[in-house]
Amino acid sequence: MSFNEYYKYYLSLHQNKWCRFMHVLGQFATIAFIAYIITQQIWIFLLLAPFVVYPFAWIGHLVFEKNRPAAWNGIHDYGWTTLKAKVCDWIMLKDIFLGKL
């Protein structure tokens, strides 16, 4: 599956506007977390930055979308699907702000 095909699949798991909103909140929380780490210079916490979005995203999926997050499908493929889902999170955020979604 090409990355573009995967992104289409990823978007099919994010059709509910509240699920997408929770992802946006999670991405902003991630940015705020990274900004805090930089200002406080506690670099070890950068390792936690990729995980900040998950509580927001999981609430979006489990409560609003009623499906499983795409990242959960990557457990058995050495994390490649999880990594693609993480990249798609940021692409979806860009597409939301550009009005494509």
| This model's pTM is above 0.85 | yes
Q: What mean pLDDT comes out for the span 21-50?
A: 97
Exposure pattern of 50-73 as b/e (b: 16+ CB <10 Å)?
eebbeebbbbbbeebbebebbbee
Residue 71: which pLDDT band, with cuts at 50, 70 and 90?
confident
Instruction: Give residues with Cβ within 8 angstroms of 13, minimum separation 6.
Output: 61, 65, 67, 68, 69, 70
* Average pLDDT, rounded, for the chain: 92
pLDDT at 13: 94
What is the per-residue pLDDT for 83? Answer: 86
Q: Where are the domains of the chain?
A: 3-97
In the chain, the percentage of residues whose pLDDT exceeds 90 is: 80
